[in-house]
C-alpha cells in the first residue's frame, strides 16, 4: 500500500471474506455442501435423510427466497440475517426446531474450521494499524456480527468488535448498493476524503466506494466464483472443492521455493492423504489389532500415520518392517513358478548371469558346472537369445534354491513372527502392485500364518495380484484394486509405478537380507547408498516434506467429517493427470530421475524418460521406437522426444 495514500487518510476499512480471510474451499457456497457431508453419517440422517442430501441446493434457495420475501414485505435491498434464512428454510422443509438448530450450529462450526488468514490482506492490515489509522470492517454478509467478531479475533484481527464492525444483514444496507458506505460515514462521522477502503469486489468495493470520493485499493489476490460445482457424488463434491482451493492464487502453504516440495504438496499430498483416509477406514472395518508398515515404500505412510495420531486417536499397535523383494523372495521361496521367479529379477537393462543369481541369494561360482552345461558364464549378459538357457539353469538348481531359502528362513523367521505374536488381525501396508511381498512374508512366518487373518492395504493392486489372494490372505488397493479401473493400470504400468516408487522411497537403503548382531538380535542388512541414490533420496525427502505439509494442513477434515464421507478417488486426479499428460515443468522435474531396474538392486538405475538427441529421433524411427519401449514414463518420453516438436500444435500443448 502506498505510504503517500496513508498520509492522506484517517480511516481504513476492509472487506472481510476473500480480502482479510479465506476459506479452504473452492467457493463460499461449498460450506453448505460441507454441512451436508458432516451430517450425512449423523444419527439425524436416519430421520432427515432427504433434507440432508438436498441441503446444499436448498440452503442456497432458502437465502434467495428470504431476500425476495424481505424486498416484497419491506422494500429496500433485501439484506437478510442468518436466522431469517433458516426460518425460510424451515418454512420450505417443515423440519423441526431441533434439526434446524443442528444445521445452523454445524454451518457456523464449519465456517470457523475452514477459515484462514489472508497473507496479503493481513500485511495491509498491519501496515494500516502500525500507521495509526482507525480500522473498520465492512461486509456484505448474512452471518451474525457476534459470530464474525469471534471468527476474526480467532485468526488475528483482535480489534474487530461491535464498534468497528458493520454487517449488511444487520443494518439492512449493503456495499453492493453503496448505502452501507453512507451509513458507516454517518455513524462514525467520517469524511469520505479521509477514508481508504480495501476489498475484492470490483463493483461493491471499488466502483461504489469511489462514487462517494472514498480512496480504494483493489484486493485482487483472490479469484473466487460462488457457483456450486457440477459434481454429483457427495464425497467427491467436498474433496474436489478442497483440492481446487490449493490451486487458487491466494492459497497459502509452507512453500520452500523448491519444485519437489511444490509437487509433493500439490500432486502427491492429495493422493497420499486420500489413501490414508481410505486406509483408516479399512483398518477399522478389518478390526486390525496390529499394523505392519513394510519398508521402504510404507515409511512415508507411517510418518503420515504418526502425524495424524493426535487427530485420529488411533490406538492400534504398529511396527515398521525392514523387508524388500530381494530379501523376502529368497527367504520366502516356496512353490513359486520358475517363470515368476525369473520375472522377479528381470528388468529393462541388460543383466549378467551372476547378478540374477545374486538377487536370488546364491553365488554363480557355486554352480559353474550347470552353467557350463548350458554354455553360460557368470559374466554372460542375458539377452533374448539366451534367456531360455537361464530358465533351464534355474530349473536345474531349483531344489537348491528351496533348501537355501529354508535354511535362511529357519535362521531369521523370528524377526517376523515376534511382530505378530499377540495379534489376530494383521494389516500389511505397502505400495502394492501384485502382492508378492505379502505372499512371501506369509511363507516366511511358517504355519503360524494360518491361525491369523492378514489383509494387505495397498496404494494399488494390479490385475496380476489375483493369484496371491486366498481366504487367509486378503488384499485391497486404493488407487487401483485388482486391475480395476483398467485405465489406472495402463497409467501405472507406463510410468506411474516408477514415479510413485520415487515419491515413497525411504531414507535408508534397500533391505538385502538379515543377520544376527553381536548380542544375537536379528537385524536387517541394508544396501549401501551410492552417490546417485543419495541424490535421489534427497529429492524424495523434499517431495515427502510437501506431502506431510499437505496432510498437516488438512487434518482438520478428519476432525470435522466422518472418515467414510471423505473417501474419494478425486484425491488421485492430479497424480493421474501427471502420469498421463505432464506439464513441461513436471517433465523437467521428474523425467531425469532414475529408477531401480530390478528387485532390491538400487545400484542398477535407469532414467524415467531420457532426453535423446533430437535429430537422431527425427531421422530414425526405429531408434525412437526402441528407446520408447525402454522408457518407464511413456507420455513424458513422447513429449520430451517428440518427432513433431517443430509443429505449432505440439509447442502449444507442451508449453
Peptide bond into 354 cis (omega under 30): no
DSSP state of 12: E
> What local confidence, expressed as pLDDT, does residue 599 receive?
47
What φ, ψ does residue 511 adopt, rounded to 5°? -80, 115
Q: What is the pLDDT of residues 8-20, one digit of tens each?
A: 899 999 999 999 9
Name the band, by pLDDT with cuts 50, 70 and 90, for residue 342. Answer: low
Query: Worst-scoring range by mean pLDDT, 38-42, 61-65, 326-330, 481-485?
Result: 326-330
For every residue of 301-335, DSSP letters joined together read: HHHHHHHHHHHH-----EEEE---HHHHHHHT-SS
2, pLDDT greater than 80: no
**Residues of the chain above pLDDT 90, percent:** 56
Q: What is the pLDDT of residues 258-294, one digit of tens each?
A: 999 999 999 999 999 999 999 999 999 999 999 999 9
Q: State the Cα–Cα distance between residues 12 and 21, nearest whole angstrom.
A: 16
Segment 408-416 mean pLDDT: 79
> What local confidence, expressed as pLDDT, does residue 436 receive?
82
302, pLDDT greater than 90: yes
- Sheet of 473-480: strands edge to edge? 318-321, 290-294, 425-433, 453-461, 473-480
Q: What is the pLDDT of residues 361-373, one digit of tens each?
A: 788 898 999 999 9
Cα–Cα nearest to 155, from 125, 195, 112: 112
Q: What is the pLDDT of residues 372-399, one digit of tens each?
A: 998 899 888 888 788 888 888 888 888 8
- 162 vs 122, 149, 424, 537, CA distance in Å? 20, 8, 59, 54
Name the band, by pLDDT with cuts 50, 70 and 90, for residue 413. Answer: confident
622 Cβ neighbours under 8 A, 6+ residues apart: none
> What local confidence, expressed as pLDDT, does residue 217 receive?
95
600, pLDDT greater than 80: no
Segment 435-452 mean pLDDT: 80
How many Cβ atoms from other residues are within 10 Å of residue 630's Cβ?
12
Element (H, E) at 343: helix 338-344
187, pLDDT greater than 50: yes
What φ, ψ does residue 602 adopt, rounded to 5°? -80, -10
Segment 304-316 mean pLDDT: 94
Model confidence, pTM: 0.84
C-beta separation of 457 from 429 below 8 A: yes
The secondary structure of 379-434, three-state, reads: CCECCCCCHHHHHHHHHHCHHHHHHHHHHHHHHHHHHHHCCCCCCCEEEEEEEEEC
C-beta separation of 128 from 19 below 8 A: no
Element (H, E) at 595: strand 594-596
498 Cβ neighbours under 8 A, 6+ residues apart: 595, 608, 632, 633
Name the band, by pLDDT with cuts 50, 70 and 90, for residue 221. Answer: confident
> What local confidence, expressed as pLDDT, does residue 346 receive?
57
Q: What is the pLDDT of residues 532-569, one digit of tens each?
A: 888 889 999 999 999 999 999 999 999 999 898 899 99
618, pLDDT greater than 80: no
Fold of 3-20+118-218: Rossmann fold (3.40.50)
> What local confidence, expressed as pLDDT, does residue 7 receive?
81
> What local confidence, expressed as pLDDT, does residue 506 receive?
93
Cα–Cα nearest to 267, from 578, 596, 622, 13: 578
Q: State the Cα–Cα distance between residues 574 and 317, nearest whole angstrom.
A: 32
Cα–Cα nearest to 31, from 175, 231, 226: 226
> What local confidence, expressed as pLDDT, does residue 553 receive?
92
> What local confidence, expressed as pLDDT, does residue 650 receive?
46
Peptide bond into 450 cis (omega under 30): no
Cα–Cα nearest to 299, from 530, 579, 503, 602: 503
458, pLDDT greater than 70: yes
For every residue of 155-172, DSSP letters joined together read: HT-TT-STTTEEEHHHHT
Name the band, by pLDDT with cuts 50, 70 and 90, for residue 144. Answer: very high
- Helix-then-strand count for the chain, H and E: 32, 16
Residues of the chain with CATH 3.40.50.1000: 3-20+118-218
* Average model confidence (pLDDT) across the chain: 88
Residue 610: how many CA atoms within 13 Å on its side-chain side? Answer: 17
Name the band, by pLDDT with cuts 50, 70 and 90, for residue 445. Answer: confident
Q: Is 280 exposed, middle or buried (0-12, 13-18, 19+ CB in 10 A)?
A: buried
Q: State the Cα–Cα distance between residues 571 and 183, nearest whole angstrom.
A: 46
DSSP state of 297: T
Name the band, by pLDDT with cuts 50, 70 and 90, for residue 407. Answer: confident
- Secondary structure E strands in 171-297: 195-199, 215-218, 290-294
Segment 240-256 mean pLDDT: 78
Q: State the Cα–Cα distance between residues 87 and 140, nearest whole angstrom.
A: 20
Q: State the Cα–Cα distance between residues 544 and 307, nearest whole angstrom.
A: 13
What φ, ψ does residue 231 adopt, rounded to 5°? -130, 125
Cα–Cα nearest to 244, from 546, 584, 574: 574
> What local confidence, expressed as pLDDT, does residue 654 receive?
45
> What local confidence, expressed as pLDDT, does residue 621 receive?
85
DSSP state of 481: B
Please give the residue that has the higher pLDDT: either 350 or 388. Answer: 388
Q: What is the pLDDT of residues 567-583, one digit of tens each?
A: 999 999 999 999 999 99
Long-range CB pairs of 58-66 (<8 Å, 24+ gap) are 58/89, 58/92, 58/93, 59/32, 59/35, 59/85, 59/89, 59/107, 60/29, 60/32, 60/228, 61/92, 62/86, 62/88, 62/89, 62/92, 63/88, 63/142, 65/92
Q: State the Cα–Cα distance between residues 91 and 606, nearest whole angstrom.
A: 66
How many Cβ atoms from other residues are within 10 Å of residue 566's Cβ?
24
Amino acid at each position: 500500500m502506498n505510504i503517500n495514500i496513508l498520509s492522506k487518510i484517517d480511516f481504513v476499512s476492509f472487506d472481510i471474506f476473500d480480502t482479510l480471510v479465506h476459506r479452504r474451499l473452492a467457493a463460499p457456497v461449498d460450506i453448505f455442501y460441507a454441512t451436508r457431508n458432516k451430517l450425512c453419517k449423523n444419527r439425524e440422517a436416519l430421520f432427515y435423510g432427504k433434507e440432508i442430501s438436498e441441503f446444499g441446493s436448498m440452503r442456497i434457495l432458502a437465502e434467495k427466497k428470504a431476500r425476495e420475501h424481505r424486498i416484497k414485505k419491506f422494500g429496500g435491498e433485501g439484506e437478510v440475517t442468518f436466522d431469517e434464512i433458516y426460518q425460510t428454510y424451515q418454512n420450505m422443509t417443515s423440519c423441526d426446531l431441533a434439526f434446524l438448530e443442528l444445521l445452523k450450529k454445524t454451518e457456523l462450526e464449519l465456517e470457523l474450521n475452514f477459515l484462514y488468514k489472508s497473507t496479503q490482506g493481513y500485511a495491509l492490515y498491519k501496515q494500516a494499524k502500525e500507521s495509526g489509522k482507525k480500522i473498520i470492517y465492512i461486509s456484505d454478509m448474512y452471518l451474525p456480527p457476534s459470530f464474525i467478531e469471534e471468527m476474526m479475533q480467532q485468526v488475528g484481527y483482535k480489534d474487530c468488535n461491535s464498534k468497528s464492525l458493520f454487517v449488511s444483514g444487520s443494518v439492512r444496507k449493503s456495499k453492493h448498493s453503496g448505502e452501507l458506505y453512507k451509513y458507516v460515514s454517518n455513524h462514525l462521522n467520517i469524511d469520505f476524503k479521509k477514508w481508504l477502503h480495501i476489498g475484492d469486489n470490483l463493483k461493491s468495493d471499488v466502483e461504489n466506494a469511489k462514487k462517494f470520493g472514498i480512496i480504494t485499493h483493489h484486493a485482487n489476490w483472490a479469484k473466487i466464483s460462488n457457483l456450486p460445482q457440477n459434481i454429483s457424488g457427495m464425497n467427491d463434491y467436498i474433496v474436489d472443492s478442497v483440492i481446487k482451493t490449493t490451486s487458487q492464487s491466494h492459497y497459502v502453504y509452507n512453500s520452500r521455493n523448491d519444485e519437489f516440495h511444490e509437487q509433493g504438496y500439490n500432486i502427491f499430498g492429495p493422493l497420499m492423504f486420500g489413501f490414508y483416509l481410505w486406509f483408516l477406514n479399512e483398518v477399522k472395518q478389518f478390526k486390525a489389532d496390529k499394523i505392519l508398515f513394510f519398508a521402504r515404500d510404507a515409511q512415508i505412510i507411517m510418518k503420515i500415520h504418526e502425524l495424524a495420531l493426535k487427530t485420529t486417536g488411533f490406538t492400534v499397535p504398529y511396527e515398521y518392517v525392514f523387508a524388500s523383494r530381494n530379501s523376502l523372495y529368497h527367504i520366502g521361496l516356496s512353490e513359486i513358478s520358475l517363470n515368476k521367479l525369473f520375472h522377479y529379477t528381470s528388468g529393462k537393462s541388460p543383466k549378467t548371469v551372476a547378478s540374477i543369481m545374486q538377487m536370488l541369494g546364491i553365488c554363480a561360482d557355486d554352480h559353474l558346472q550347470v552353467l557350463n552345461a548350458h554354455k553360460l558364464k557368470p559374466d554372460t549378459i542375458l539377452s533374448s537369445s539366451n534367456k531360455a538357457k537361464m530358465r533351464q539353469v534355474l530349473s536345474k538348481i531349483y531344489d537348491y534354491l528351496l533348501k537355501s531359502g529354508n535354511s535362511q528362513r529357519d535362521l531369521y523367521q523370528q524377526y517376523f513372527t515376534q511382530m505378530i505374536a499377540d495379534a489376530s488381525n494383521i494389516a500389511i501396508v505397502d505400495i502394492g502392485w501384485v502382492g508378492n511381498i505379502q505372499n512371501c512374508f506369509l511363507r516366511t512366518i511358517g504355519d503360524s500364518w494360518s491361525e491369523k487373518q492378514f489383509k494387505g492395504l495397498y496404494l494399488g493392486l494390479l490385475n496380476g495380484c489375483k493369484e496371491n489372494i486366498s481366504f487367509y490372505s486378503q488384499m485391497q488397493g486404493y488407487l487401483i484394486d485388482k486391475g480395476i479401473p483398467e485405465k489406472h493400470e495402463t497409467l501405472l504400468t507406463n510410468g506411474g509405478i516408477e514415479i510413485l516408487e520415487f515419491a515413497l522411497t525411504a531414507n535408508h537403503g534397500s533391505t538385502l537380507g538379515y543377520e544376527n548382531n553381536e548380542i544375537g538380535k536379528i537385524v536387517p542388512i541394508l544396501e549401501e547408498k551410492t552417490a546417485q541414490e543419495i541424490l535421489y533420496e534427497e529429492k524424495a525427502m523434499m517431495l515427502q516434506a510437501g506431502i506431510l505439509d499437505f496432510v498437516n494442513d488438512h487434518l482438520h477434515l478428519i476432525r470435522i467429517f466422518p472418515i467414510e464421507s471423505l473417501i474419494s478417488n478425486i484425491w488421485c486426479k492430479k497424480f493421474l493427470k501427471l502420469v498421463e499428460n505432464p506439464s513441461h515443468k513436471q517433465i523437467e522435474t521428474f523425467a531425469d530421475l532414475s529408477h531401480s531396474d530390478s528387485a532390491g538392486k538400487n545400484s542398477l538405475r535407469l532414467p524415467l524418460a531420457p532426453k535423446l538427441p533430437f535429430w537422431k529421433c527425427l531421422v530414425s524411427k526405429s531408434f525412437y521406437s526402441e528407446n520408447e519401449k525402454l522408457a518407464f514414463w511413456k507420455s513424458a518420453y513422447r513429449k520430451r522426444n517428440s518427432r513433431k516438436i517443430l509443429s505449432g500444435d505440439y509447442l502449444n500443448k507442451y508449453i
